[in-house]
Structure 1
């Protein structure tokens, strides 16, 4: 798949045109001041060249092509893109230059004249990187110079995730076969108990050693394995400068790691991005392709996800009984209200605080930092009161270590009962 864009050129005089105009103007000014008509004859050729601009060949219209139009890769992974320019009307000399945003390295490996270039790009940080083509055109006998820019291709760089698996909150799962061991009796491999045989039991469940010892048939009961629906909620609201801006990196990597763990365990995973101008969501699904769809949703790339409005998670995006894991700085009230709303719907909600430090670390008075810390702990307590568990993710800890402190919701419910 390739992209084709018409380049809008901005025209201006070339250095040759400015030099000719300067020489002609100086000669005319000298002729008027000195009163010598011979200088007019000297300026006539320069004026003739400038007046020929109207009957020169028309300026060209340029199109830029990029192949492939979009490409996905991971950090520090190379991608190859071919960009070429085409003159589809008019005439002129065209020169093509390919560049990218800061953070991405571009190396030209094949150049076919001035019209076509093949480049290899690599980025060390995830994000969206447009491959920008600059077109320089000299037209109308070298008197005009045009410059235009076009995004010939887009490279979507996915974040690399650590291999460690993140734990899942302990809660009652849906009645669907999976990889999470539960305390319920059913099909599985973990031993639960032994009971007498009743008509209808499968013969493969008969424990022949116990049956021979007790003189009657007994069957082995096992604990069932079930699956979960994991929905990741990420905060895309604008953050103030300071440690909050660095938290975006941890939000993306944390979301990818949780989704990767869920899909490895055979669970369904989805994602919701709240905040910004384009809130979006991707329904829960299984498989390796779902992992790349989730990353596309994080980067706002592709068309696999749905757009939404408002500040709350759409009901269609969160299946019944789903586990919601949110990554946020918890600095925006609207995002906190979205978490409380999900808890009211009956979901298990866990919020991971990705803010590594206090926004007031540069303050000279340590009392300000102390008051900020106490306020955050009070917020943790208030959120836990309404059923939203908040976990802190310090900068020197990995995500699996931070999430190892997840509370056991099943034990809490039994205690209250």
Structure 2
């Protein structure tokens, strides 16, 4: 659980935060009118009738509160990283630092719509021994079942009581519907005490961010990388070295290891021979995220996905696959922010990738961000560049063409939703949509003619055929001009 941030107010400010309620005004007014009328009219019965109101008001105000309530929010993360579709827990707590019991606390909190809160209820600290019956009744009515109308259960106020020196937790439980940083809060509370004669001002606390990582879609690419450049890894290179693939048998030379001796060949040739192998090397994968445009509407996990949803989830899947194989993965944003994540390998890099993806946003720009994104010596000549783009901006197509002309190994992944609905307006809207679709298909055809493979993202096996073609081109002999 994240540590609570408890606001502490100064005594003068806290005392000034309490105000009389209309009930106090009515009690004082009624008691005063009865007393004045009894004295003027000489009616003792009116004075006796005013006595309970005066005595009851005085008794309720015998102990006045001096401190405002404390409100804080905690978000549960003890179960490990929270992924889309996982269970989310949080708590909004109200503390009573005063020496006066809070007769009624009205608590309300905002929660991100992407955090589907299905259960909410109060829980008390173990230090609270005796709970008044009125508070028990309030607690019983504060537990809300999940609404079947699609409305979150926190879209209403919760009422309870808080004894002195204790705290009450409003436990929230539900599901995370979409990746990102989602706020729980702000939360506010107002307190009534002294028999409902005094009420505090609203105490509001800052929201707490809940990190929801993207769900990794099934992905696996069995084809070899175009070119492996690292020292160790899972890809077979054409250079001799320590590895698992046999390159041939040669005569023993000084420096060769004895375990490499091929005794069958050595006995037949009457001279020591060793088995030579090809070195296993790692590759660098650069995942480029096109954030210039967005299309489609996100419906959360298991529902319709927008361009940004597909881009983020596909990036997480590709990064997980290649990092699991021992490759180095780096991330780049093609947009005005030009965010980047340096290449690295291992599980720590995977967690860093997930954290980096939480801040991916669509950022439109009026200028060409190519030179800003691809600075000098940013991309290795042996790296595989996987570009996730909806191809909605002409600058994205120009960027792919420039990377290919520069000799990079580029694979373009189309992230535009296949179920993108056409406009329903009458007139030329549907005709314009069809023309735009046709123009986009022509642009994709031109990219393929210029050597840019374009494939639609479909999870596992999406890049197999493309990687096979890119690897074949990388190993093919190049014809030099005279």
Same fold (TM over 0.5): yes
Aligned residue among 367, 375, 386 for 2:439: 375
Deviation at 1:185, TM superposition (A): 2.9
Which residue of structure 1 lines up, in the alignment, with residue 176 of structure 2? Answer: 123
CA change 1:178–1:402 in 2 (3 A) is: closer
Q: Which secondary structure does the structure 2 equivalent of 1:230 belong to?
A: strand
**What does residue 3 of structure 2 align with?**
2
How far, CA to CA, are the matches of 1:76 and 1:121 in structure 2?
Answer: 10
In structure 2, C-alpha distance between the alignment counterparts of 1:343 and 1:150, rounded to whole Å: 52
User: Given the superposition, is the C-alpha separation of residues 241 and 198 from structure 1 closer, same or farther in structure 2, using an over 3 Å criterion?
Assistant: closer
- Counterpart selection for 1:111 from 94, 109, 123: 123
- Distance in 2 (CA, whole Å) between partners of 1:17 and 1:319 is 75
Q: Which runs of 5+ in 1 are unaligned?
A: 25-44, 50-55, 302-308
Matching of residue 101 in structure 1 with residue 112 in structure 2: yes
Q: Which sits farther off after the overlay, 182-191 or 161-170?
A: 161-170
| Per-residue deviation, 1:255 | 0.5
Partner of 1:292: 351
CA distance in 2 between counterparts of 1:69 and 1:149 reads 23
TM-score by length of 2: 0.63
Partner of 2:339: 280
1:184 and 1:223 in contact (8 A); partners too = yes
Range with greater deviation from structure 2 (231-240 or 164-173): 164-173
Question: How much does 1:192 deviate?
Answer: 2.4
Task: Name the TM-score, length of structure 1 as normaliser.
Answer: 0.72
Aligned counterparts of 1:211 and 1:266: Cα–Cα separation in 2: 36
Q: Which runs of 5+ in 2 are unaligned?
A: 10-16, 31-52, 58-63, 125-160, 299-303, 361-367
Contact 2:390/2:414 (<8 A) preserved: yes
SS for the counterpart of 2:416 is: coil
Question: Pairwise mapping of residues 162-311 of structure 1 onto structure 2 (< 5 A)?
Answer: 162-167=217-222, 170-241=225-296, 246-275=306-335, 279-300=338-359
Q: Deviations over 1:125-144 (max 9, x none)?
A: 33332212532314697576
Asked if 1 retains the 8 angstrom alpha-carbon contact of 2:218 and 2:459, the reply is no
Looking at structure 1, the residues matched to 222 and 417 of structure 2 have their Cα atoms a distance apart, in angstroms, of: 21
How far residue 258 of structure 1 moved from its aligned partner, in angstroms, is 0.4
CA deviations on 1:73-119 (whole Å, 9 max, x unpaired) are 12333344343235789997643344522342253465225553243
CA offset at residue 72 of structure 1? 3.5
Q: 1:356 to 1:403 in 2, by over 3 A?
A: farther
Helix, strand or coil at the partner of 1:321: coil
SS of the equivalent of 1:401 reads: coil
Shift of 1:64: 2.5
Partner of 2:14: none
Taking only aligned residues, the RMSD between alpha carbons, in angstroms, comes to: 4.4
1:329 to 383, 390, 393: 390
Residue 155 (structure 1) aligned with residue 230 (structure 2): no
C-alpha deviation, 1:285, in angstroms: 1.3
Kept in 2: contact 1:131–1:152 (CA 8 A): yes
Aligned to 1:76: 85
Note closer, same or farther for the CA distance 1:185–1:3 as it changes in structure 2 (3 Å cut).
same
Matching residue within 323, 347, 350 for 2:411 = 350
How many residues end up aligned between the 2 structures? 376
